[in-house]
Structure formats: structure tokens, C-alpha cells
């Protein structure tokens, strides 16, 4: 999609040799460990030979291994963490094996290596129109996605490791492994039970956003009219406190303004926005006002900027909404023709949207994404900004950030604007590590 397949050819560039080399030991181990039950095996084997070849180049200790001060070297030295991607839908619904190259996703393991991304929070997304606002089906849908993330690490220990702490992310990065983390997008699968939160904590969930685009009885969403007046009720406040107690980050992306302020007032640990931008630049309900960004910073938290053009570029959402009306019949047809579950049909509809948006809408570039970062930095400092791409959850991307492999372009633009290596390291992942550590510490108290 979107010419992503062509990117693959460019992939085996020297720039990724170091990362591949770092994974040498793990790769060799994997040969003996490889799981006989593995499904979709063909793709998984794609990268093994090239990794073996490239490991012939030794990793030299000292300055030469450290690299220069060019953007690519700065990027590679940082521990980069993406707070939000919806790739698990494609694993569960289409059997995508992201341990190898996948033509139909924004993210997979080989492109994470090319993009120098060390850790990915996979979003566990329960779509209320298909699985309900609560109940068994919502719980089961979350369960199968969590199992899919855990299976990545279990079936491919040479490549992936399940991380549940800041230390785990640092360890994975030092070992040259990709860290898979779990965040729950929307509290539908909590099934209105407080004890669910500990159950999710135990299987690895480390952030929860109370809502996606549908309001719950206990929390309002920015995506519907109920959210216009709804904040947290008593149960909602208990949910936040239970997350604080366990050490799960509280995510305000998608919640209504009223819920946002109730969360900030209730949480005794830093609050995050896993994938939201600035309303001062793109005035949509999913973005944050300056006052909200300042409030997040005051908790010690972090705002992770999202790559979706609708939240980046003023007026883009209006142009997209107008196009949606024009292509409605095409989109519906694709859904009808697709065979499979409601989720499979939804993916088919999204693919038509993606194709038509690419053809008919102009996309912003990474420079606009950095405008949002600049705005947050000017407002509250470089300690309170991170990244949350929403890859595989969005039907359009910036024209020069079309997959995770393009991530070094973000670093290049930051450096072009005068950010130092220390700043870049904070933005790419250091700030999220600090927040995670603080949330862990305040839970342990
Ligand atoms: Zn989202």
C-alpha cells in the first residue's frame, strides 16, 4: 500500500547493519529455538539470512561504534519508543506475521530495525460498534489481542521481548531486541469491574485510556455528544486510583475535556497522552488545548504526538470528511464484498479510504509534526513530549513518514531545527522512560 513495498528494497542499507549485528546472538539462538507451531512461517524466515551475513561485521567498541553526530547516528543511539500503534488488529484479523516484512501494515520487525525504533506499545483496541461497551465479547476481543502481542515474544525470542517496565525497555534496547509493550485503548474490556485492572496489569498492560470514541457510563469521550458533558463518575475515579496503585499509566487520548480535567485532578501519578497533538495548530477535539498540555506537564507527564494528518494539519479533517461523502458507496461495497468478521470488513473499508485519501488529498510532511513538537516544547519544555504514531490505526500518514522505517526523518528535522542530541533522546523515548519509572515508583509506595 502507498508504495510501501518499494521501501523494502531500500531496507538493507548499511545504516541498519549495526542493529542487525547487535541482534546476532539472539538470531543464532533462534535457530534452535524456532517454534514448530509457528504459523505464517514463510515471512518469518525472510530476514534470517541477511542478519547472519551482516553479523560478520564486528561491532567495534568505543568511538567508532558510537558513530558521528549526524542525524542517523543520533537517532540510532537514542532509545526510541512509540506509544501507540494498532498493528495487532492485522495480526489477529489477517494473520499478519510482523516478525517478517508485511506489505499491508505500517509496522513490522524489519522496518522497526530500519527505523531505529526500540520499543512499541501495541494498542489493544476494542471497537464498541462490533464488540460492545462492556461484556464478554469486549473482554474476549482484548484477550485475543493481548495474547497476540505476548505470542510475538514467545515465538520469536531472538527478535522480540515483552517489556513491562522502563528497565525492561532499556534492557531490550541494550540487547538489540525489540520491546513489545501493551496499552489498552478504551476501558470497554474492563467490563465495569475494578478487579479487571489488576488482571490486565498481570498480563502486561501498562497504560489504559478510559475511552476510545464512545463514552462509557463512567468516562466521557471526545468522540460523541455524551462526552460533551460527561466526566468521570465515582467508579471512573476508582479506576484511575487503581491504575495509580498498580503502576499503570493513565492515558488521556480520546477522552472528553471534562474527563481530562477529572483525570488530572484524580491521578496521583504522571498522566500521558499516548497519541494527541495541539489544538492551537489543528483545532480538533482529539487534540489538546494549551491549558491541557500545561496540566499534563504539571503532573510530570508526557504528550506523545500522533502522525495522523487530520490531527496535524489545519483543515485536513474537513477535506477528508467531504471526500468521505463522495466515496461512501465505494467504501460500503468493499465492506459488503469482504468475507469474514466485522473487523475484517472494517479493514476492507479502511483500505478503500486509505487508497482514496492517498489519491485525492495532499498530505502534510514531518515538518508539520515537528511544528506540534515545537509548540509543546515552547509551552512546557522538552521534558514533556514524546511520539505516538498511531501507525496501522490511521488511513493516511505524512507523505514522508509512511512507515516506521521513516522514523529517522523525524530526528533529522529536529536536528535541522536546532534540537540537541540530548533533546532528541528525550523526545524519542527518554521522557516516556522517565514517566514510566515515576509511575512505577509511585505505585510501589
Ligand atoms: Zn486512537
Ligand 1 geometric centre to CA of 204 (Å): 19
227 Cα to the center of ligand 1, angstroms: 16
* Position 169 confidence tier, pLDDT thresholds 50, 70, 90: very high
List the beta bridge partners of residue 288. Answer: 278
Alpha-carbon distance of 4 to 33, in angstroms, equals 31
Instruction: Give the mean pLDDT of the chain.
Output: 88
* Domain shared by 269 and 336, yes or no: no
Confidence grade of residue 66 (pLDDT, cut at 50, 70, 90):
confident
The whole model's pTM is what?
0.85
Q: Do 126 and 76 fall within a single domain?
A: yes
Same domain, 337 and 368: no
- The tens digit of pLDDT for each residue in 91-134 reads 999 999 999 999 999 999 999 999 999 999 999 999 999 999 99
| CA nearest neighbour of 299 among 263, 275, 274, 271 | 271
Domain check: are 209 and 318 in the same one?
Answer: no
- The CA 29 to ligand 1 mean position distance, Å, reads 36
Query: Do 287 and 276 touch, CB atoms closer than 8 A?
Result: yes
Q: Say if CB 316 and CB 399 are below 8 A apart.
A: no
* Statement: residue 81 has pLDDT above 70: yes
Same domain, 108 and 192: yes
State the distance from the centre of ligand 1 to the C-alpha of 393, rounded, in angstroms.
7
Kindly give the distance from the C-alpha atom of residue 275 to the centroid of ligand 1, in angstroms, as a whole number.
7
**Taking residues 254-272, what's their average pLDDT?**
98
- Residue 282 has what pLDDT? 98
Among 343, 362, 381, the domain-final residue is 362
Q: Which among 399, 400, 410 is positioned nearest to 362, based on CA atoms? A: 399
Cα(82) to centroid(ligand 1), Å: 13
Burial class (CB in 10 A: 0-12, 13-18, 19+), 293: buried
Question: How far apart are the C-alpha atoms of 161 and 183, rounded to whole Å?
Answer: 15
The pLDDT value given to residue 33? 33
Q: Which residue has the higher pLDDT, 3 or 85?
A: 85
Total number of residues shown for the chain: 445
Distance (Å) from CA 125 to ligand 1 centroid? 8
417 Cα to the center of ligand 1, angstroms:
28
Residue 64: pLDDT band (50, 70, 90) is low
Tell me, in angstroms, the distance from the centre of ligand 1 to residue 87's CA: 12
Same domain, 303 and 223: yes
Distance 173 CA to ligand 1 centre (A): 26
Q: How far is the CA of 212 from the centre of ligand 1 (A)?
A: 6
Q: Taking 70 as the threshold, does the pLDDT of residue 65 lie above it? A: no
Say yes or no: 227 and 353 in one domain: no
Instruction: Name the least confident of 12-26, 305-319, 391-405.
Output: 12-26
Grid cell digits, residue 372: 506540534
How many angstroms is it from 172 CA to the middle of ligand 1? 26
Output the CA 405–ligand 1 centroid distance in Å. Answer: 21
The Cα–Cα gap between 433 and 426 comes to: 9
User: What domain count does the chain have?
Assistant: 2
Of the candidate ranges 30-34, 94-98, 226-230, 352-356, the one whose mean pLDDT is the lowest: 30-34
Q: Report the candidate in 302, 318, 211 with the shortest Cα–Cα distance to residue 255.
A: 211
What is the pLDDT at residue 23?
35
Looking at residue 244, what is its pLDDT? 98
Q: What is the pLDDT of residue 48?
A: 34
Model confidence at 9: pLDDT above 60: no
**What pLDDT does residue 444 have?**
77
pLDDT of residue 382: 98
Question: In the structure grid, which three cell numbers stand for residue 330, read together?
Answer: 465505494
What's the confidence (pLDDT) of residue 195? Answer: 98
Give the mean model confidence (pLDDT) for residues 154-170: 98
How far, in Å, is the centroid of ligand 1 from the Cα of 185?
A: 7
pLDDT at 52 over 80: no
- Compute the distance from residue 85 Cα to the ligand 1 centre, in Å: 9
Judge if 26 and 111 occupy the same domain. yes
Give yes or no: residues 331 and 379 share one domain.
no
CA 2 / ligand 1 centre spacing (Å): 21
pLDDT exceeding 70 applies to what percent of the chain? 85
Q: Within a 10 A sphere around the Cβ of 325, how many other Cβ atoms?
A: 7
Cα–Cα distances in Å, from 32 out to 28, 29, 121, 158, 267?
8, 6, 28, 10, 46
CA of 181 to the centre of ligand 1 (A): 16
Residue 344 belongs to domain spanning: 314-362
Pair (101, 138) in one structural domain: yes
Residue at which a domain ends, from 328, 362, 396? 362
Residue 266 sits in the same domain as residue 346 = no
pLDDT digits (tens, 9 = 90+) for 285-302: 999 999 999 999 999 999
Give the per-residue SS3 of the chain.
CCCHHHHHHCCCCHHHHHHHHHCHHHHHHHHHHCCCCCCCHHHHCCCHHHHHHHCCCCCCCCHHHHCCCCHHHHHHHCCCEEEEECCHHHHHHHCCCCCCCCCCCCCCHHHHHHCCCCEEEEEEECCHHHHCCCCHHHHHHHHHHHHHHHHHHHHCCCCEEECCCHHHHHHHHHHCCEEEEEEEECHHHHCCCCHHHHHHHHCCEEEEECCCCCCECCECECCCCHHHCCCCCHHHHHHHHHHHHHCCEEECCCECHHHHHHHHHHCCCCEEECCCCECCCCCCCCCECHHHHHHHHHCCCEEEECCCHHHHCCCHHHHHHHHHHHCHHHHHHHHHHCCCCHHHHHHHHHHHHHHHHHHHCCCCCHHHHHHHHHHHHHHHCHHHEEECCCECCCCCCCCCCCCHHHCHHHHHHHHHCCCCHHHHHHHHHHHHHHHHHHHHHHHHC
Q: Give distance in angstroms: CA of 108 to centre of ligand 1.
A: 19
Q: What is the pLDDT of residues 237-254, one digit of tens each?
A: 999 999 999 999 999 999
pLDDT in tens, 185-207: 999 999 999 999 999 999 999 99
Q: What is the CATH number of the domain that holds 194?
A: 3.20.20.140
Mean pLDDT along residues 208-217: 98
Are both 287 and 392 inside the same structural domain? yes
390 CA → ligand 1 middle, Å: 7
* 162 phi/psi in degrees, rounded to 5: -80, 120
pLDDT at 21 exceeding the cut of 50: no
Q: Which residue has the higher pLDDT, 21 or 396?
A: 396
Q: Ligand 1 center to residue 433 CA distance, Å?
A: 21
Q: What count of other Cβ atoms lies within 10 Å of the Cβ of residue 380?
A: 20
Amino acid at each position: 500500500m502507498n508504495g510501501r513495498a518499494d521501501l523494502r528494497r531500500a531496507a538493507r542499507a548499511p545504516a541498519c547493519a549495526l542493529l542487525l549485528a547487535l541482534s546476532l546472538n539472539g538470531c543464532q539462538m533462534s535457530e534452535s529455538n524456532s517454534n514448530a507451531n509457528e504459523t505464517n512461517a514463510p515471512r518469518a524466515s525472510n530476514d534470517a539470512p541477511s542478519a547472519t551475513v551482516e553479523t560478520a561485521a564486528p561491532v567495534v567498541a568505543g568511538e567508532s561504534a558510537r558513530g558521528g553526530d549526524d542525524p542517523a547516528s543520533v537517532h540510532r543511539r537514542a532509545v526510541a519508543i512509540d506509544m501507540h500503534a494498532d498493528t495487532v488488529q492485522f495480526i489477529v484479523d489477517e494473520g499478519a506475521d510482523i516478525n517478517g516484512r508485511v506489505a499491508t501494515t505500517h509496522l513490522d520487525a524489519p522496518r522497526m530495525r530500519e527505523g531505529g525504533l526500540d520499543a512499541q506499545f501495541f494498542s489493544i483496541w476494542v471497537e464498541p460498534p462490533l464488540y460492545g461497551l462492556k461484556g464478554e465479547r469486549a473482554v474476549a476481543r482484548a484477550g485475543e489481542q493481548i495474547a497476540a502481542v505476548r505470542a510475538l515474544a514467545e515465538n520469536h525470542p531472538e527478535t522480540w521481548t515483552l517489556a513491562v517496565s522502563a528497565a525492561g525497555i532499556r534492557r531490550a534496547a541494550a540487547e538489540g531486541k525489540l520491546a513489545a509493550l501493551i496499552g489498552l485503548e478504551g476501558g470497554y474490556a474492563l467490563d465495569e469491574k475494578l478487579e479487571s485492572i489488576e488482571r490486565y496489569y498481570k498480563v502486561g498492560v501498562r497504560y489504559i485510556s478510559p475511552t476510545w470514541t464512545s463514552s462509557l457510563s463512567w468516562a466521557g469521550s471526545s468522540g460523541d455528544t455524551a462526552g460533551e458533558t460527561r466526566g468521570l463518575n465515582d467508579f471512573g475515579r476508582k479506576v484511575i486510583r487503581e491504575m495509580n496503585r498498580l503502576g499503570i499509566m493513565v492515558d488521556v487520548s480520546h477522552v472528553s475535556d471534562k474527563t481530562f480535567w477529572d483525570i488530572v485532578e484524580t491521578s496521583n501519578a504522571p498522566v500521558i497522552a499516548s497519541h494527541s497533538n495541539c489544538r492551537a495548530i489543528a483545532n480538533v477535539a482529539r487534540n489538546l488545548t494549551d491549558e491541557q498540555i500545561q496540566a499534563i506537564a504539571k503532573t510530570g507527564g508526557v504528550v506523545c504526538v500522533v502522525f495522523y494528518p487530520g490531527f496535524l494539519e489545519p483543515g485536513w479533517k474537513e477535506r477528508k470528511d467531504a471526500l468521505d461523502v463522495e466515496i461512501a458507496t465505494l467504501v460500503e461495497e468493499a465492506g459488503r464484498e469482504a468475507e469474514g468478521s466485522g473487523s475484517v470488513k472494517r479493514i476492507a473499508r479502511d483500505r478503500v479510504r486509505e487508497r482514496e485519501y492517498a489519491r485525492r488529498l495532499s498530505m502534510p510532511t514531518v515538518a508539520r509534526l515537528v511544528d506540534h513538537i515545537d509548540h509543546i516544547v515552547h509551552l512546557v519544555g522538552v521534558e514533556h513530549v514524546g511520539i505516538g504514531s498511531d501507525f496501522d490505526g490511521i488511513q493516511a500518514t505524512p507523505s514522508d513518514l509512511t512507515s516506521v522505517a521513516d522514523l529517522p526523518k523525524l530526528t533529522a528535522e529536529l536536528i535541522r531545527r536546532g534540537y540537541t542530541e540530548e533533546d532528541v533522546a528525550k523526545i524519542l523515548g527518554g521522557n516516556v522512560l522517565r514517566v514510566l519509572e515515576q509511575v512505577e515508583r509511585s505505585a510501589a509506595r
